[in-house]
């Protein structure tokens, strides 16, 4: 029983860590990376489609992304979607190719993105703690139903706390790496 709860906690905490990684990918750094555009959706024949499924995204150089839509008629829709996103990017179009030059980050924008990264990391920690809370309440229910002994419950609590601590440490490491990435010039 306790092993099942540990497995469940591990799985759910891993998902929280993956969600944090996705959130970090959307925070712009000074370098061009296709994952910046992951949150952008385009109206593709009436269907809200992720940008990566409507165009090929290529890194032209360190500060430029190049998008080639699968159909030339999508160029205006893609430009509109990029402008509506909160990334602060201005697309330039040459025929069927859309280029996205990434402006260099100022000290002020780096600090804003750093605060955003800290907020995302805190949300990740909260998610991990919520998983811990759920699993501990399941342990208490097992104890109440006399399915496990008090010693087993205590051992289970300690093991869940160790798992929680390891995931929070991984979140902190990811935050430090993202902040370092943001502060690079």
pLDDT in tens, 31-68: 777 878 888 889 888 888 888 888 998 988 878 889 99
Band of the pLDDT at 169, cuts 50, 70, 90?
Answer: very high
| Domain boundaries of the chain, sorted by first residue | 2-26+106-183, 34-101
Q: What is the pLDDT confidence band of residue 103, given thresholds at 50, 70 and 90?
A: confident
Model confidence at 30: pLDDT above 70: no
More confident residue, 141 or 85: 141
What's the rounded mean pLDDT across residues 9-22? 92
CA 117 to mean position of chain CA atoms: 10
Is residue 26 pLDDT above 80, yes or no?
no
Q: Note the pLDDT of residue 185.
A: 61
Which of 168 and 185 is assigned the larger pLDDT? 168
CA distance 38 to 93: 20
CATH architecture of the domain with residue range 34-101: 2-Layer Sandwich (3.30)
Task: Give the global pTM.
Answer: 0.73
Query: So what's the pLDDT on residue 182?
Result: 82
Question: How far is C-alpha 149 from the geometric centre of its chain's CA atoms?
Answer: 39
Least confident of 92-96, 122-126, 163-167: 92-96
Pick the CATH number of 2-26+106-183 from 3.30.497.10, 1.10.132.20, 3.30.800.10, 3.40.50.10490: 1.10.132.20
Torsion 71-72-78-80 (CA) sign? negative
pLDDT in tens, 110-141: 888 889 899 999 999 999 999 999 999 999 99
């Amino acid at each position: 029983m306790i092993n099942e709860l540990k497995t469940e906690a591990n799985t759910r905490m891993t998902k929280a860590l993956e969600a944090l990684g996705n959130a970090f990918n959307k925070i712009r750094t000074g370098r061009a990376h296709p994952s910046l555009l992951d949150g952008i959706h385009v109206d593709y024949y009436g269907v809200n489609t992720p940008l990566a499924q409507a165009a090929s995204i290529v890194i032209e150089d360190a500060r430029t992304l190049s998008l080639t839509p699968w159909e030339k008629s999508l160029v205006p829709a893609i430009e509109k979607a990029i402008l509506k996103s909160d990334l602060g990017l201005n697309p330039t179009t040459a025929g069927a190719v859309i280029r996205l030059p990434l402006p260099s980050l100022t000290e002020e924008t780096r600090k804003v993105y750093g605060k955003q990264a800290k907020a995302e990391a805190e949300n990740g920690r909260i998610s991990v703690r919520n998983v811990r809370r759920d699993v501990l309440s399941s342990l208490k229910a097992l104890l109440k139903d006399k399915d496990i002994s008090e010693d087993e419950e205590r051992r289970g609590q300690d093991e869940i706390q160790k798992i929680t601590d390891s995931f929070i440490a991984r979140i902190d490491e990811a935050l430090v790496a993202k902040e370092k990435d943001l502060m690079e010039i």
